[in-house]
Structure 1
Amino acid sequence: MGSRSSSIAYTAFSPRPSISRHSSIATNPPMDRSKPKDYLILAVIACFCPVWPINIVGFVYSIMSRNSLEQGNVDGARRLGRVAKLLSVVSLVGGALIIVACAVNLTGLGSIQ
């Protein structure tokens, strides 16, 4: 047990540089630091679709994305914006399918006579 702890301490605080490790600056290219989108307009439009739980959650994520950007958290705003976009698009597609299904059902095209 003593040899394990000494070998862990030796590797963690070794004065020799590791050949396999690279600087994070060299391996990760600089990210695009432009203002991320919050997709608020898309979320508001999605609120008119009949998929209520999904589109309201998308709207909340959009507001959270805007608030994160105002606080200076660009990565969090980008992540929340992507979730807001995904939920809004799912809501729009689901709402369109529900509207088409209701229209087909009400016109009688869906029933076999």
Structure 2
Amino acid sequence: MASSIGYTAFSPRPSLSRHSSIATNPPLDRTKVKDYLLLSVLACFCPVWPINIVGFVYSIMSKNSLEQGNLDGAVRLGRVAKMLSMVSLVGGTVIIIACIVNLASECPKSDL
């Protein structure tokens, strides 16, 4: 019966508590989807190579998903690329600082 309260086109039977997900989830805008390609390229210069390469691959996959029209997949892959790139940047910064501190502690101090 199409006139009952809470009937949705996707539901096989009427329900009073369920509503269509189309009304609650607005469609994604293509311009708002980010692939974080620049961030992942910058992360490739950090010395955490397996992580930043995987982040770069996820960024490319996000860009390809967006070009194919899969907005949900592009958003999901973009988030993973962002997370891996940020982990790579933070890890690379920690490694570089640790190397500088280690090298500075091993240098002999000159008496001037």
Identify the TM-score tier after normalising by the shorter chain: 0.7 to 0.9
The alignment's C-alpha RMSD in Å is 1.9
**Rg bigger for which structure?**
1
Amino acid in structure 1 at the alignment position of 2:45: F
Moved over 6 A (4+): none
Q: How far apart in 2 are the matches of 1:57 and 1:44? A: 11
In structure 1, the residue matched to 2:90 is: 93
Identity among equivalent positions (%) equals: 72
Q: Summarize deviations over 1:35-76 as a string: whole Å, max 9, x none.
A: 211111110110000000000000000000111111111111
Determine if the alignment matches structure 1 residue 22 to structure 2 residue 19. yes
Structure 2: runs of 5+ lacking an equivalent:
1-10, 107-112
Does the CA contact (< 8 Å) of 2:46 and 2:93 recur in 1?
yes
TM alignment of 1:1-113, pairs within 5 A: 17-26=14-23, 28-35=24-31, 36-108=33-105
Q: How far apart in 2 are the matches of 1:73 and 1:32? A: 10
Q: CA deviation at 1:31?
A: 4.0
TM-score by length of 1: 0.76
Amino acid in structure 2 at the alignment position of 1:104: V
Structure 1: runs of 5+ lacking an equivalent:
1-11
Corresponding pairs, count: 95
